[in-house]
Amino acid sequence: MKVRLQKFLAQAGVSSRREGEKLILAGRVTVDGQVVRLLGTKVDPQREEIALDGQTLKTMVKRFLALHKPPKFICSRRDTHDRRTVFDLLPIDWGHLYTVGRLDADSEGLILLTNDGAFCEKVTHPSHGLLKTYCVTVAKRLELGALERLTDGLRDKGEFLQAKRVRLLFANNTRSQAELVLGEGKNREVRRMFKALGLRVLRLQRVAVGSVKLGELPLGKWRPLSRSEVASCLRTTRKTG
């Protein structure tokens, strides 16, 4: 059965479909030894040899993981400053996985990982609107007006930032904790929103991505996603895309 070349690259776990297009245009992909630069080219992986930079590719067993990222771990595969990465927490032969979205180094909580480029693209693309839930602790009492500004939206560095929902979990004179639900994944969005309100974030934890919940998963540990969790993520993106 023939599939588009960029779809096969995603199925082989080397890229998302969009990144696969860049690989094709760069002339790094060959089919039966011939460089293919035409987007939309269809291939039969059972009959043709597809290679990236001279290395033959095969469809990989798809993996979908939930990982509880600790603070100070980064989501990149490698780091020039020799910081620890989330890949240090996985089996050594799972280096072909990549993160579905990111959390900054100081944040913690739920990170999804996969080798399925199509899944990654659907879950992370802003147009699909998969909701992410965060628990935020700040060093001050959160007043009603601040919560309303988060849901009304505010501007920071030319970008409009807005929470879908906000729920106050507790508040006293020295600290407060709130739950935020966001529909987009703009860079450091939650921290920027609270900074714009003059509030210092003490702790930021992502507790859910769509229907996938962090739950009782221990810090630094991972678990496979269930079939129903994978299907739920894809079903949600189809509805909102």
Identify whether residues 205 and 135 lie together within a single domain: yes
User: Are the beta carbons of 114 and 100 closer than 8 angstroms?
Assistant: yes
Question: Which residue among 44, 53, 79, 104 is the active-site one?
Answer: 104
CATH number for position 189: 3.30.70.1560
CA distance 75 to 49: 32
Domain boundary among 31, 56, 81: 56
What are φ and ψ of residue 199, in 5° steps? -115, 135
pLDDT at 219: 97
At 237, is the pLDDT very low, low, confident or very high (cuts 50, 70, 90)?
A: low
Which spans in the chain are helix H? 5-11, 17-25, 117-124, 144-152, 189-196, 227-240
Identify whether residues 51 and 70 lie together within a single domain: no
Identify whether residues 218 and 120 lie together within a single domain: yes
Please, what is the average pLDDT of the chain?
A: 90
Mean pLDDT of all residues in 86-108: 89
* Residue 79 known to be catalytic: no
Identify whether residues 108 and 225 lie together within a single domain: yes
23-65 pLDDT, tens digit per residue, is 999 999 999 999 999 998 999 988 899 999 999 998 777 899 9
pLDDT at 240: 47
158-212 pLDDT, tens digit per residue, is 899 999 999 999 999 999 999 999 987 788 999 999 999 999 999 999 999 999 9
The pTM of this model reads 0.76
120: containing domain: 64-127+212-240
